[in-house]
């Protein structure tokens, strides 16, 4: 068996694996996963009765910083009062950038 060929093939495989991983790390998270993270955060403070998220990332400037974000909303029902929130979540890290209460019905 030729060990040089085996080591060469292993090295090429490692380089290809590393470059594929680096490219995958630069992709945004799935919108469904982003919504799941926000819903779980809201559930820590009470039940969630509805939610939505735009599937296409958009650009947001917040506190003079630029982000690529998903925009979505959460509805919570507490004591028969629906409260709606709009959120922005970083499309690459999954960090919540901002949450605003939009209305209470």
**Per the structure block, which two tokens stand in for 30?**
């799935």
Which of helix, strand or coil describes residue 78?
strand
Q: What is the pLDDT along the chain (105 residues), one digit of tens a residue?
A: 587 777 767 777 777 776 666 665 666 889 999 999 999 999 988 889 999 999 999 999 988 999 999 999 999 887 888 889 999 999 998 889 999 998 766
Whether the Cβ atoms of residue 79 and residue 72 lie closer than 8 Å to each other: no
Following CA atoms 90, 95, 98, 99 in sequence, which dihedral angle do they give, to the nearest 10 degrees? Answer: 120
CA angle 88, 86, 79 (to 5 degrees): 140
Sorted by where each begins, the domain ranges of the chain are 28-104
Q: Does domain 28-104 have CATH number 3.10.450.40?
A: yes
Instruction: Extract the tokens encoding 40.
Output: 């779980």
């Amino acid at each position: 068996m030729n060990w040089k060929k085996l080591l060469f093939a292993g090295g090429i495989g490692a380089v290809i694996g590393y470059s594929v991983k680096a490219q995958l790390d630069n992709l945004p998270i799935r919108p469904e996963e982003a919504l799941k993270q926000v819903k779980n955060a809201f559930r820590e403070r009470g039940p969630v009765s509805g939610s939505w998220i735009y599937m296409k990332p958009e650009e947001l400037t917040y506190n003079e910083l630029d982000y690529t974000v998903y925009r979505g909303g959460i509805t919570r029902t507490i004591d028969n009062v629906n409260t709606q929130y709009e959120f922005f979540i970083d499309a690459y890290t999954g960090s919540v950038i901002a949450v605003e209460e939009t209305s209470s019905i």
